[in-house]
Each structure stands twice: as C-alpha cells, then as structure tokens.
A and B are shown apart, each in its own frame.
Chain A
C-alpha cells in the first residue's frame, strides 16, 4: 500500500547541532508539507513544496529549511537546533488538484 513515512520517530539532539528529519511518500504526490505541533498552537506550517525543486516558506519557517530533489522526499533541516524547536513534527502530502492531505506518524524532537 502507498504510504507516507517519517524517520526517526524520536530524536534527542543538542543545541546548535544540525538535524534532518526525513519524510518519504509513495503516492507520487506533488504537494508535500511540514508542520509542527505544540500545545496551544495546533498544527503550524513550516515549509511546503508543490513539486520537484519547488519550496516555499510557511508561517513558522525561521531556523528551518527543506529541499525537494525528487517527488517522494521532502527532508526538513534544522540548521542550528534551538530549545524552542522542541516539538512534534508532521509531514503531509497531497495529490495534484486534491484537497485532502495525508499525514505521517510524526517525529518527536527534543533539543537539550
């Protein structure tokens, strides 16, 4: 079955380190998204991509970057991890012209 997977599921890192979270989908969806989920804030959009080589900033993009070299993957990089980036991160994908987005299982990141 087609799916969307995130790795790792849990990560602990130190302040200042670079961290990359992986997202891989096998639906061949053009649209991919990264969200962070924090208590009291719901799901907030970090970055998104509408296709290969396309990336766009969301509402909370500072300190994060993404790259889209193929359809299946949208890795999220924290350039220099900060304690404020401790959160649960979700990747989602959506087919071209579709409105429903499908989510991965999430990555819990702790920055110490």
Chain B
C-alpha cells in the first residue's frame, strides 16, 4: 500500500537541541497531520495543516504544509525528555478515497 516517505527514521539528540523531520510524497494531499505516539499508547494528534504554505505552531512544535502539497515538515524547538516517542505524518488525499496515508515514523530519543 501507499506510504509516505518520512525522514529521518530515528534521531538521538541531547536535551535542549532543536529537531526537524519531514515527509514527502509523490501524490498531492489536501491535509497534513502530525501525530506523536508514546510507548504503549496510541497516536495523539499534534498539529493539523489544511492549505499549502500554512505554518502552524503548538507550543514548541511548528509544522508547515509544503507549497507543492507533496511535503510537510515538523520542527521541535528546545527538546525535553518527554518529547521521546515516535512521530508520524499523515496525509489526506483529494478525491474519493477519503483515507489517511501514514508515514513510517521518526523515532526520537532525547538524552537529558
């Protein structure tokens, strides 16, 4: 099945560092979503983006909807230990499919 290309696959950083991850697709999306999954839990929605070029923040998190509609970026500033988890992007496509396509996830580890 179709999946988004999400990178990097994993990141190991020091507390206080900034983090950047991205998703790319060969298809155009009309919505980009970013989720975080804590160990043993379900994905939790962090940020939703609805139009090309949109830049949205949620605390230390900032995400952007790419101009081409084929990519999105998530930045985390001044990371803290509780940022640890897996971050997923998800795209919603134009047309009748009405389904979300998920990226393969970015594992983030933060060392205090």
A residues bordering B, Cβ < 8 Å?
31, 33, 35, 40-45, 48, 50, 58-60, 90, 99-106
For residue B88, give the distance in angstroms from its CB to the closest CB of chain A: 7
Determine chain B's interface SS by DSSP, over half rule: strand
Contact A42 B48, beta carbon cutoff 8 Å? no
| Chain B positions 16-60 with a Cβ under 8 Å from a chain A Cβ | 30-31, 33, 35, 40-45, 48, 50
Contact A99 B104, beta carbon cutoff 8 Å? no
Partner of B99, one of A48, A100, A102: A48
Contact B48 A43, beta carbon cutoff 8 Å? no
Contact A45 B1, beta carbon cutoff 8 Å? yes
Task: Point out the residues of chain A lying under 8 angstroms from B66, CB to CB.
Answer: none
Complex Cα gap A35–B88 (Å):
14
Write the chain A residue with the least CB distance to B30.
Answer: A99
Partner of A60, one of B1, B45, B48, B92: B1
Task: Point out the residues of chain A lying under 8 angstroms from B92, CB to CB.
Answer: 99
Contact B44 A103, beta carbon cutoff 8 Å? yes
Nearest 10 CB-CB pairings of A with B: A59-B1, A103-B42, A42-B104, A99-B31, A43-B102, A99-B92, A105-B42, A103-B43, A106-B42, A42-B102
- The tally of CB-CB contacts under 8 A between chains A and B is 51
Write the chain B residue with the least CB distance to A60.
Answer: B1
| Chain B positions 67-112 with a Cβ under 8 Å from a chain A Cβ | 88, 90, 92, 98-100, 102-105
Contact B1 A44, beta carbon cutoff 8 Å? yes
Task: Point out the residues of chain B lying under 8 angstroms from A33, CB to CB.
Answer: 99-100
Could you pull out 23 A-B pairs where Cβ atoms are within 8 angstroms?
A33-B99, A33-B100, A35-B102, A40-B104, A41-B104, A42-B104, A43-B102, A45-B99, A50-B98, A58-B1, A58-B99, A59-B1, A90-B43, A99-B50, A99-B100, A100-B33, A100-B48, A101-B45, A101-B90, A103-B42, A105-B41, A105-B42, A106-B40
Partner of B42, one of A58, A60, A104: A104
Complex Cα gap A22–B45 (Å):
22
Complex Cα gap A48–B100 (Å):
11
